[in-house]
Amino acid sequence: MKARVLCIGDIVGRPGRHILSQVLPAYVRDNNIDCVIANAENAAGGSGLTPQIYEKLLRYGVNLVTLGDHAYRKRDIVSTLETADNIVRPANLSPEAAGKDFAIYQTANGVRVAVITLIGRIFMKPADCPYARIDALLSKIQNQNLADVIFVEMHAEATSEKVAMGYYLDGKVACVFGTHTHIVTADETLRTKGTAYITDIGMTGAHESVLGRKTEKVIKAFRTQMPFPFEIATEDQRVSGIVVTVNSNTHLAESIERVQLTCSETDSQGYDSDDGRPDRPSII
């Protein structure tokens, strides 16, 4: 049995949520998408996730939600992390950290898709060994026959960490995709043993920006070396990601394709379809 999985790059603020709400339902329907995985660690004001926004993403058509180094930026998401079965924080955080190591979604055609997020250790906050953690989780999922295909998100700053993990997991999982840097890479490939790989799937939000923030304040911060509130940008909204076709019999991938979705009727105000309030600036 085959399944088509759409992986969506870091959703940044209300503009990211807005464009997602506008294009995702039709894209899923028209392209026979069976499962949608989305990184939402920047969905609330550009940093963190709230329970209300988590619910919105599910209404838009997201099936599995992943988080990264900003997983706990909004403290009220902790209860959701502890109770919901379709959202994950990085698996190689402390075993005492709130949230689940992996999540599973069963598609309409019966294929069970698991997602695991790992966080990098170069230029990032301290974390446990991602290799030891993924080995333990793969053993658990496979020994208990919990999923048919496994997607691993490598949320890391250094491209070397992402590339290395892609090679390490070749033939062990269906897909390894990178997030965090917000810049889509053009190195999507099928590794020799059947794992789909890409270093970064990019950002969902305003692309006339510096990683989703208005350019003027970011440039001013770089030039002066002083902190400034980085306002969420609103222009040129896009959804960035990949579509991976997987085979539940081989547990591996058959194809990987970069996608970037836009909407000609999307306004430039950066609003949700059901929320007209602008995002507050954040300092990162």
Structural domain boundaries enclosing 112: 2-261
Q: Does 273 fall in a domain?
A: no
Give the pLDDT confidence of 232-247 residue by residue, as tens digits: 999 999 999 999 999 9
Going residue by residue through the chain, which has 284 residues, state the pLDDT in tens, using 9 for 90 and above.
999 999 999 999 999 999 999 999 999 999 999 999 999 999 999 999 999 999 999 999 999 999 999 999 999 999 999 999 999 999 999 999 999 999 999 999 999 999 999 999 999 999 999 999 999 999 999 999 999 999 999 999 999 999 999 999 999 999 999 999 999 999 999 999 999 999 999 999 999 999 999 999 899 999 999 988 889 999 999 999 999 999 999 999 999 999 999 986 434 444 444 443 444 434 33
Please state, in angstroms and rounded to a whole number, the distance separating the CA atoms of residues 69 and 16: 18
**58 burial via Cβ count (<10 Å: 0-12, 13-18, 19+):** middle
In terms of DSSP H, where are the helices of the chain?
A: 13-30, 51-60, 78-83, 130-143, 159-168, 215-224
Q: How many CB atoms lie within 10 A of CB 55?
A: 12
Give the pLDDT confidence of 2-48 residue by residue, as tens digits: 999 999 999 999 999 999 999 999 999 999 999 999 999 999 999 99
Q: Which amino acid is it at 51? A: P
In the chain, the number of structural domains is 1
Q: Indicate the pTM of the whole model.
A: 0.92
Q: What is the pLDDT of residue 264?
A: 60
Q: Does 280 fall in a domain?
A: no
Q: What is the pLDDT of residue 263?
A: 82
Whether 79 and 51 have beta carbons less than 8 Å apart is answered as yes
Rg of the chain taking only CA atoms, in angstroms? 18
Active site residue 70: yes
Q: Does 270 fall in a domain?
A: no
Q: Does 40 fall in a domain?
A: yes
Q: Does 178 fall in a domain?
A: yes
Phi–psi pair at 71, nearest 5 degrees:
-55, -40
Q: Does 147 fall in a domain?
A: yes
Please state, in angstroms and rounded to a whole number, the distance separating the CA atoms of residues 252 and 246: 6
Give the contacts of 212 (CB within 8 A, at least 6 positions apart): 10, 12, 13, 15, 16, 42, 46, 182, 203, 205, 206, 232, 233
Sign of the alpha-carbon dihedral angle for 73, 272, 117, 232: negative
SS3 state of residue 67: coil
At 72, list the tokens.
């706990």
- Is 182 within any annotated ligand binding site? yes
Q: Does 167 fall in a domain?
A: yes
CA angle 189, 166, 131 (to 5 degrees): 170
Q: Does 274 fall in a domain?
A: no
**147 burial via Cβ count (<10 Å: 0-12, 13-18, 19+):** buried
DSSP state of 86: S
Q: How far apart are the first and last CA of the chain?
A: 43
**Between β-strands 237-247 and 2-8, what pairing exists: parallel, antiparallel or unpaired?**
antiparallel
- Is 187 within any annotated ligand binding site? no
- Is 34 within any annotated ligand binding site? no
Closest C-alpha to 90, from 53, 159, 166, 39: 39
- Is 10 within any annotated ligand binding site? yes
Give the contacts of 38 (CB within 8 A, at least 6 positions apart): 7, 8, 11, 20, 57, 62, 64, 65, 66, 204
Question: What CATH code is carried by the domain that includes residue 16?
Answer: 3.60.21.10
Please state, in angstroms and rounded to a whole number, the distance separating the CA atoms of residues 46 and 246: 32
Task: Look up tokens 């510096």; give the residue.
Answer: 210
